Structure 1
Amino acid sequence: MDERVREHARIIVDHSIDLQAGDEVLLSGGELAEDLLIALHEEIGKRGAFPIVWSRPSRAHRAFMHAMDPEVYGEVPDTLEAMVENVDAAVGIRAARNTHEQGDIPPEKNTAMATLFQPIQSKMMAKRWVGTQYPAPGNAQDAEMSTEAYEEFVWAAINKDWEAQREFQQPMAEKLDAGSEVHIVSGDTTDIVMSIEGTVAKNDHAENNLPGGEVFTAPVPDSVEGEVLFDMPLMAHGREVQDVYLQFEEGEVVDFSAAKNEEVLAAVLETDEGAKRLGELGIGMNRDIDRFTDNMLFDEKMGDTVHMALGRAYEENVPEDCDVERNESAIHMDMIVDMSEDSNITIDGELVQQDGTFWFEEGF
């Protein structure tokens, strides 16, 4: 087996989920990720824990979604709820043969099921969990790379010194945590201001996302003002949505458009009231992710990007004892702005990034 796969598995169990003896670990990932699943079983066994595998092939899920009537499903299955209640940790592995397999599922079905499963997702996110990527051909194709080149890209971004990455990101985490207002400008369109007063900034060094490499917080829900053009594509419900434009007033989307698959964006915004507000602001800082690959797990971590997410805010950014309202929604949809040119970020009037370079980096 490729030693890079074994290193990937070790980082997952030791760093991302801090596996302990006796833990029950839910593993989800298809046959394309078999090598990583095998390596994880070995590492889990060495540590005296128990692997539990849940596989849901994308073609099978597509068949179910086309056949089902959302109005028939009033609650999640008892078996699935019990499994989520009882596991100690979870590892989700992405590995696609066809990243658009579910692209013809009606958007309203996707949003209905997201709403149904929101309570289970919230319970799982309260546990130790990580989502990661195995370099599969479908994902390589999206990135316009050969499978071999994509393997090198993925493992360069994943198999690294995460403590060093944490230290690199800490100055930005401290700026955001102490800050009150963020102002982002990019190109001719993006000019957006939001309050982060009272929220908690987090330093993502690959605990829940592998690769990690961002600093993120939550805007005060009704504080967002201005407009933003997300000039990098995103995948939503199996479809690529391009050039998402959003205009905010008092925190809520009051106008929107998209150059491609606008109806998907419209369906997302109609999920619930929280879907019309921002739940996250993230700043990418992983310099080993040096190109756009049409994969949000990687793209949002690029060092010359910012991303914002419609929908649910993370509890770690807005804990229960916080005075700020936490945005609630069944969805959390990340969207990216390229900050490499004609762009800047200021926090409380202080310039902290210019054209993708941070204030503490050479060339700022």
Structure 2
Amino acid sequence: MKNFNIMLDEYAKLCVEVGINLQKGQPLVINTPIEGADFVRLVTKHAYELGAKEVHVNWNDEILTKMKYENAPMEVFENFPKWYADGMEEYAEDGAGFLSIYSQDPELLKDIDPKKIAAYNKSSSIALKNFRNYTMNDINAWCVVSIPTQGWASRVFPDVSEEEAMEKLWKAIFKSTRMDLEDPIKAWEEHLKNLEEKVNFLNEKKFKKLYYKSSNGTDLEVELPEGHIWAGGGSKNAKDVFFVPNIPTEEVFTMPLKTGVNGVVYSTKPLNYGGNLIDEFKLVFEEGKVVDFEAEQGYEVLKDLLSLDEGAKHLGEVALVPYDSPISNSNIIFLNTLFDENASCHFALGKAYPTNIEGGENMTEEELEKRGVNDSLTHVDFMIGSEDLSIIGETKDGKKVQIFENGNWAF
């Protein structure tokens, strides 16, 4: 077994060498919790060794964030700082890669006024809309990873000491990201090749509809738009450089037709959204739109999410993940969407990736709308996979093909 420091260094290297695939002369922007300082220094070291032009770090601290929500007036949350949005756009225009370290305490803001959280989510989404076009269209390389923080680790492993919780979460992250293997980068190359085989099969079939059924009550019909593209594993940026947006990743995904979703779907894992958990929820769709919903936990938070704008009531992503996969088999509920979405088939409410339709990255918003592509200020994944989930694809000529059976790939 490799020791901790070796795996940590290899993980940092993987982030810039495989995740961003940083090129000589390229800036790197890192968004990170302050608890990640040691890890960020390792990432920065590898980035400069690869020839980074500059490494810029945006630090955040959960204690300060909570203080702000508890004490600052509503107007602070309604007005996102323009200087920050402008700065991110400048880095994007300079061709930067963007590495986000997502390690939020899932219940950080559970006692905070949900109206403040909703106001911030809306103002930040509006202010950062232009910047997010660079990542949503894969113009720039981007990657999301996680490291343990004390607040998060103690939520995932509440029955052990803080120190042991951190150790257990590090171990789970290293295993999920293949850092425990002898040659992690080679293992990732093989994994990406396997995902590519699934992507190629689905793109060859050009399915018109997908039918989801599960014993928990999920019964959903999802129409796919003409010219949709399945993707998974990695993507290429505007300079034709291959990168991996999520580490870990087990999914292949495409977009639904905005108006083509009908039926009911039930969540199978908690959703960490805006420092709150939404759990045991269901969504009812008619002609693509959520027309009814329920939630055992986080009802008001879900209501605010769906009310963000019209597009938030529609789906923007359809993602397939086998139930028999490394993260799922860990039997850990990470309370972190990056990991939980890669343990389960999922959908996303909100904006679709324009790259999931032929020529979409070059289309105007009006052209995308005509093709049935959903637009929104948000994009939030939620998990719906189960051990008995069945997904059947229907081709244009009406032929039915079993894609998932008992929660796993059927081909």
Report the TM-score, using the length of structure 1 for normalisation: 0.90
Q: Which residue of 2 aligns with 1:287?
A: 325
* CA deviation map 1:217-273 (0-9, x unaligned): 100100001111112111111111111211111111111111111111111111111
How far is 1:208 from its partner?
Answer: 0.6
User: Which structure: greater helix fraction?
Assistant: 2
SS at match of 1:316: helix
Q: Check conservation: 1:30, 1:57, Cα contact below 8 A.
A: yes
Q: Which residue of 2 aligns with 1:136?
A: 149
| Two-structure CA RMSD over aligned residues (Å) | 2.3
Q: 1:273 aligns with which of 286, 310, 322?
A: 310
For residues 217 and 6 of structure 2, the distance between their equivalents in structure 1, rounded to whole angstroms, comes to: 46
Find out whether 1:117 has 2:128 as its counterpart.
yes
How far is 1:71 from its partner?
Answer: 8.3
For residues 300 and 74 of structure 1, the distance between their equivalents in structure 2, rounded to whole angstroms, comes to: 28
How far is 1:180 from its partner?
Answer: 1.7
Moved more, 8-17 or 137-146: 137-146
Q: Check conservation: 2:268, 2:386, Cα contact below 8 A.
A: no
Find out whether 1:346 has 2:365 as its counterpart.
no
How far is 1:204 from its partner?
Answer: 2.2
1:93 counterpart letter in structure 2: I
Q: 2:118 aligns with which of 108, 112, 124?
A: 108
1:224 counterpart letter in structure 2: V
For residues 16 and 106 of structure 2, the distance between their equivalents in structure 1, rounded to whole angstroms, comes to: 27
Moved more, 162-171 or 288-297: 162-171
Q: Which residue of 2 aligns with 1:179?
A: 207
Q: Which residue of 2 aligns with 1:163?
A: 189
* CA deviation map 1:305-342 (0-9, x unaligned): 2101110101211314677232111111111113213x
Please give the residue correspondences for 1:1-364 in structure 2 after superposition, counting only pairs within 5 Å.
Answer: 2-49=5-52, 50-65=54-69, 66-69=72-75, 73=79, 76-77=82-83, 78-86=86-94, 88-96=96-104, 98-103=105-110, 104-106=112-114, 107-113=117-123, 114-125=125-136, 126-144=139-157, 146-158=165-177, 159=179, 160=184, 161-177=187-203, 178-197=206-225, 198-205=227-234, 207-285=244-322, 287-289=325-327, 290=329, 291=331, 292-302=333-343, 305-318=344-357, 319=360, 320=362, 324-341=371-388, 343-348=389-394, 349-360=400-411
SS at match of 1:2: helix
For residues 61 and 81 of structure 2, the distance between their equivalents in structure 1, rounded to whole angstroms, comes to: 22
For residues 303 and 131 of structure 2, the distance between their equivalents in structure 1, rounded to whole angstroms, comes to: 25
Alignment length, in residue pairs? 356
1:262 counterpart letter in structure 2: Y
Moved more, 323-332 or 308-317: 323-332
How far is 1:46 from its partner?
Answer: 1.0
Structure 2 unaligned residues grouped into runs of 5+: 159-164, 235-242, 395-399
Moved more, 322-331 or 246-255: 322-331
For residues 108 and 233 of structure 1, the distance between their equivalents in structure 2, rounded to whole angstroms, comes to: 19
For residues 377 and 135 of structure 2, the distance between their equivalents in structure 1, rounded to whole angstroms, comes to: 14
Structure 1 unaligned residues grouped into runs of 5+: none
Quickly say closer, same or farther: Cα 1:134–1:13, change in 2 above 3 A: same
